[in-house]
Every structure is written in C-alpha cells, then in structure tokens.
C-alpha cells in the first residue's frame, strides 16, 4: 500500500474555478482499480493551499491513474491556477518526491 500527498498552491481567487473539475476528477478516481481513498483538503491557515491525500493498493495502480483521461482533464483545468505543486509518494521503505 502506498500514500500520495500532493500539495498545490493556487492563485488567489482560483478556488471556485477549481471546485467542479476537482469534484469530477475525485469521483472518477474513486472508481479506479486500486484506489482506496482520494480526498481533497483546503488548508485552514492558507486558503490558497490544497492537499490531495490518496491511498493506493500498489504503485502500479497509481501509475495507471496517472494515465487516466479524467486526471488529464483535471491537470488542464488546474494548470492556469497553479502557483506550485509538490507530490510525495510514500512507500513503506521510502518516499518519492516529484
């Protein structure tokens, strides 16, 4: 089992534009093979900081997720609103930083 923590910093005022694409992506991702959990949280301290917390059965399932059309749609919709993105993939014995 692996976890993913994807931290996004968005431009001020972008949250409403991202809400519908995020909800659609989450709904489709939860149907994917190997997806145990896929949640989006907004920081209470910084409203421009969003954090996806994901739980996957295998790294292969996560890799398959990265190739899904609904994720590409989310990436296209969010790109104009992003300031930065940091992704950590947490395995039992190591962490991948992207």
pLDDT digits (tens, 9 = 90+) for 28-46: 999 999 999 999 999 999 9
What does the pLDDT read at residue 67?
97
Q: Residue 58's pLDDT is what?
A: 96
CA gap 6, 49 in Å, rounded:
10
CA distances from 16 to 10, 47, 74, 85, 88 (A): 11, 12, 14, 18, 25
Q: How many domains does the chain have?
A: 1
Q: Which structural domain range is residue 41 located in?
A: 2-97
Low-confidence ranges of the chain (pLDDT < 50): none
- The H or E element spanning position 71 is helix 69-78
CATH number assigned to the domain comprising residue 64: 3.30.70.100
């Amino acid at each position: 089992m692996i976890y993913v923590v994807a931290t996004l910093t968005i431009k001020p005022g972008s949250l409403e534009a991202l809400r519908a694409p995020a909800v659609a992506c989450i709904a489709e991702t939860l149907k994917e093979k190997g997806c145990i959990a896929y949640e989006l949280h907004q920081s209470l301290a910084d409203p421009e900081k969003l954090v996806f917390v994901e739980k996957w059965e295998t790294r292969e399932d996560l890799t398959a997720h990265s190739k899904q059309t609904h994720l590409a749609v989310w990436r296209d919709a969010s790109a104009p609103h992003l300031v930065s993105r940091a992704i950590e993939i947490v395995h039992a014995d190591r962490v991948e930083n992207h």
